[in-house]
Amino acid sequence: MATAPLTGAPTDPGRRIRRACHARRRQRPSVNWELSALLLILAAAAVLYAWGIDRAGVHPYYSAAVRSMAANWHAFVYGGLDPSGSITVDKIPGALWPQALSVMLFGPHNWAVVLPQVLEGVLAVWALHRIVRAWAGPTAGLLAALALTLTPITVALNRHTIPDTLLVLLLVLAAGSLQRAVTTGGLLPLLGCGTWVGLAFQAKMLQAWLVLPVFAAVYQLAAPGSPLERARRVLLAGVTTILVSCSWLLLVGATPAENRPYIDGTTNNNPFTLVFGYNGLSRFGHDPHALGAVAGTAASRTTGNTGWTMLVNESLGPQISWLLPLAVLALVLGVWWRAGLPRTDRLRTGFLLWGGWLAVHVVVFSNSNGNHGYYTAVLAPSLAALTGGGLAVFRSEHRAGGRRRAALPVAIGLTALWAAAVEGPHSAFAPWLLPMVLMLGLCGTVGLWTSGPDTTRRAVHSALAAALAAVLLAPAVWAASCLDRRYPGSPIEPLAGPVGPDYQGTHHHRVRIPRNPLNQPSSRDAALLSYLSAHRSGEQYLLATQAAYGAEPLLRATSQPLLVMGGFTGLTPYPTPLRLSDLVATHHLRYALLTTRRPSTPATAWVRSICTRIPPSAYGRTSDGSFTLYDCARRDN
């Protein structure tokens, strides 16, 4: 007796092929829609980050070093502040390398210095999308990418020359490698994670290591394999992280001191003191000279933006905290709802990863001596990932019904109310924004709360659209303010909106020309450079300056070697008076420029006692101001 074949069985290859083709046709519109949405998000990121970068205000200190590093490979490798590489910058130069390469390629232009940050920002958005998509699905990936794109401090930072942009990108890539390692149990992705963190160390030193406890705990908790095997792999990844992190330190330490620049920020010319003392322990303890470090300046040890309320104060709240209620609720419910599932549960692992990232940074920043506002940009990927993953999970539970369906409207309502609280002190900035957010939040919350099985698809989608707009409208408006010249963002302290140090007030805006431009000295600096060049007779150094403060505008304008006495703070004991005397005696140095805005040192005291003051009229100035030029070839004694 004949038996009819089962549908889709191998005996019916034609039907199987037809079903596969039909499935592909149904899937193609969804894939095309997702790709189109991602391209729109990336385009928005490129516009927000790159629009008007030719007018960007670049960091005066870092851009001076970049110009020098682009002019000399020795200065490039060691992070020399001037082209001769006499003294380093007061950081590891990793984040400056892309900028210096860009200046090498395109020339000394402001936009060339900012371009690497634009690319790093767009790549971070793309990478976060890929990571969150693999974790929580396509919708979550797109929402996370959009949230990161519209984070105000991210936009402000990516339009400047601060090292944190590269730090964020590399840590996001590290999180992606860790996620693959947890999913597959493979050693290679875990070693890749350690490598990315090590490279991030080159960008921002110890801050890159803050994620390591979270990464190690997540892998140990959720990766496949026995506890001993997981611990062995974490140890190997840790060794990789340390080796990559310390590669530049080991290179500099192995180079004889006479063949490399003096290490700024140290009293012992030790690169490990630069990282772990000057840029490490001195920022958290009460000893400014930890491990032989030089005391930092007030600018590098800001006393603001610390404590447990730092993320919600009037200046930082609008930069980073718009999505905080939604992210916290997503973390709590995402972990709670997955309780009792196998320890390798992928969805819960992602919430722990991004929630741990957020928590550890909040704890560290709240307990430091003080933070620049842009430090909080490293929180943006975790907030964006929790937002995307949380909204996707909440939407799924809302669609499924039951008690958990209330999570979505509650999250939207709380986030809208929070946005109103953050916007409140700045209601004059965009008077329409606060009522608009509240109205959208109310529509979205009520619409989602009252929707049920009989609610039309269009009504549900309208409520979802209102909810999403309520969540993202306020950060989008603050992010877009970075394109307005009235809210320029300080080159040293980039912030979005009417809170930055360069904001002039509601009735006193002024359009600013490019700040700290490369290759464009002011008339005063041009006259000084012209005088020094005309009177130079073969000396190695065009000029010695007291601290980086006086050298910065000259280094941005010229590739001539300058001797920066005292480094960034002016307190680094280089050069010694004896060394300075030898340079003058051997005709390697003639002129010195001192300033009243930096503390006196033995080297500057030697200049004042030995060298002859030059009248300011000789080099195109009507008065000394805060600077005085000395000729050390003409001795007062």
pLDDT tens per residue, range 135-147: 999 999 999 999 9
Give the C-alpha separation, 36 to 498, whole Å. 34
Give the C-alpha separation, 524 to 225, whole Å. 67
pLDDT of residue 10: 42
pLDDT of residue 454: 80
pLDDT of residue 309: 86
pLDDT of residue 438: 96
Q: How confident is the model at residue 47 (pLDDT cuts 50, 70, 90)?
A: very high
- Token pair recorded at residue 540: 């190695």
Cβ-based neighbours of 95, under 8 Å, separated by 6 or more: 163, 165, 166, 167, 202, 203, 204
| pLDDT tops 50 at residue 7 | no
Which strand (E) or helix (H) includes residue 635?
strand 627-635
pLDDT of residue 635: 64
Beta carbons of 554 and 525 less than 8 angstroms apart: yes
- Torsions phi, psi for 612 (to 5 deg): -100, 130
Q: How confident is the model at residue 489 (pLDDT cuts 50, 70, 90)?
A: confident
Across 568-597, average pLDDT: 95
Across 91-105, average pLDDT: 97
| pLDDT tops 90 at residue 8 | no
Give the C-alpha separation, 474 to 440, whole Å. 11
* Mean pLDDT over the full length of the chain: 90
- CB pairs under 8 A, 24+ apart, for 253-260? 255/78, 260/78, 260/85
- Picking from 36-45, 269-278, 298-307, 469-478, which range would have the lowest pLDDT averaged per residue? 298-307
Q: How confident is the model at residue 448 (pLDDT cuts 50, 70, 90)?
A: very high
Across 580-595, average pLDDT: 96
The DSSP result for 71-85, as a single string, is H-HHHHHHTBSSTT-
Give the C-alpha separation, 197 to 94, whole Å. 13
- Picking from 297-311, 420-434, 449-463, which range would have the lowest pLDDT averaged per residue? 297-311
pLDDT of residue 427: 87
Amino acid symbol at 244 = V
pLDDT of residue 9: 40
| pLDDT tops 70 at residue 508 | no
| pLDDT tops 60 at residue 16 | no
pLDDT of residue 299: 53
pLDDT of residue 370: 78
Q: How confident is the model at residue 1 (pLDDT cuts 50, 70, 90)?
A: very low
Instruction: Give pLDDT tens digits for 384-429.
Output: 999 999 999 999 999 998 899 999 999 999 999 999 999 999 988 9
**Three-class secondary structure of residue 187 per DSSP:** helix
- More reliable by pLDDT, 280 or 286: 280
pLDDT of residue 351: 98
- More reliable by pLDDT, 625 or 601: 601
What percentage of the chain carries pLDDT values higher than 90?
77
Q: How confident is the model at residue 301 (pLDDT cuts 50, 70, 90)?
A: low
pLDDT of residue 144: 98
8: left (phi over 0), alpha (psi -120 to 50) or beta: left
Beta carbons of 154 and 137 less than 8 angstroms apart: no
Across 270-295, average pLDDT: 87
pLDDT of residue 517: 86
DSSP 262: B
Beta carbons of 355 and 335 less than 8 angstroms apart: yes
Instruction: Give pLDDT tens digits for 544-570.
Output: 999 999 999 999 999 999 999 999 999
pLDDT of residue 5: 38
| pLDDT tops 60 at residue 506 | no
Across 11-17, average pLDDT: 51
| pLDDT tops 90 at residue 217 | yes
Across 433-439, average pLDDT: 96
What percentage of the chain carries pLDDT values higher than 70?
91
Across 130-136, average pLDDT: 97
Distances (CA, A) of 35 to 125, 151, 388, 605: 14, 22, 17, 65
pLDDT of residue 411: 97
pLDDT of residue 557: 94
Burial of 172 (0-12, 13-18, 19+ CB in 10 A): buried
| pLDDT tops 70 at residue 300 | no
